[in-house]
Amino acid sequence: PNFDISENLVSNICEAYYKTCQYSREELASYSKAVRSQEGTLQFQNMAPDQLWGLCAEKITEAIQHVVEFAKHSNAFMSFDQHDQIILLKTGCLEVVLVRMARAFNITNQTVLFDEKYTPIETFRSLGCDDLISGMFEMAKSIAELNLTEDQIALFSFAVLITGDRPGLWESNRLNKLQSVVLGSLQEMFHKTHSDPPDILTKLVMNMLNLRNLSRLHSKYFLHFKHHFVNVSLPPLYKELFFVDENQPPQHFA
Ligand code: 4D8
């Protein structure tokens, strides 16, 4: 495929995104009055940590499944060998979920849509990973503050997904080229919506580094906590993605 036909590329990415973004902006806005009550928050705080981990893992896995669908709907992504597709999804899916989290984040009261209600950060305290959770909330806030359009979120999340320097990739060069084309189109779009396009792009690129750190931190906590998970069942896809040295072939992407 010729990535110079970037108009096709862009419209295909946006279409893939609209089909798989779970909630429209309108739906997200209609939830915004549903804020979790103090008692509601307390109920989560009183849950056993492994129970809450299980619940969060379930929600994250649901979101990841939509990211996998997003990738599968993109012609550019599908033009890479399955070997690279799997590496990109394994290493990038949580980062894309965090980009998507920015849409479901309310800057005014610093809450995120979780289990049907806009929910404050304290809700997640018993997980025992405050730095990870606050990092995720800060990331969502900093992306939300950029006021991206849906098309721009689509392109940015795609750029995150096709990061060319993940370990083990066969076609790093072609991925890097594709990523510059996508980021170029993104900057082009900023001319219509933002006063300082290069500045926004710089901020996004810095966010990309931060996303990677958060994804690493999440894996670290997961490995640290996994021996506490004997009483709680985690979604198979979640385990497959974040248990590092399992030699079994992936089964849940299909
Ligand atoms: O569209 O799928 O409905 C967050 C999870 C978002 C984590 C989800 C979550 C999302 C991170 C559940 C737990 C982001 C949407 C809903 C569920 C991403 C927190 C809130 C999706 C966008 C908002 C709305 C806790 C959906 C940060 C992290 C917990 C760990 C155990 C690491």
- Is the ipTM higher than 0.90? The answer is yes
Of the candidates 64, 72, 80, the one whose C-alpha atom is nearest the C-alpha of residue 22 is 64
Name the DSSP class of 167. T
Q: What is the pLDDT of residues 141-191, one digit of tens each?
A: 999 999 999 999 999 999 999 999 999 999 999 999 999 999 999 999 999
User: For residue 112, what are the β-bridge partners?
Assistant: 105, 119
Superfamily of domain 6-31+39-242 in the CATH hierarchy: Retinoid X Receptor (1.10.565.10)
Could you identify the atom of ligand 1 that is nearest to the CA of residue 140? 14
Q: Confirm if 2 and 181 have CB atoms less than 8 A apart.
A: no
Rounded Cα distance between 80 and 106, Å, is 36
Q: Is the CB of 186 under 6 A from ligand 1?
A: no
* 100 Cα nearest atom in ligand 1: 22
The answer to whether 73 and 19 have CB atoms below 8 angstroms apart is yes
Rounded Cα gap, residues 222 and 228, in angstroms:
10
Position of tokens 């849906």? 150
Per residue in 208-228, pLDDT tens? 999 999 999 999 998 888 777
DSSP-based three-state secondary structure for 119? strand
Distance 212 CA to ligand 1 centre (A): 17
Q: Please tell me if the CB atom of residue 102 comes closer than 6 angstroms to any atom of ligand 1.
A: no
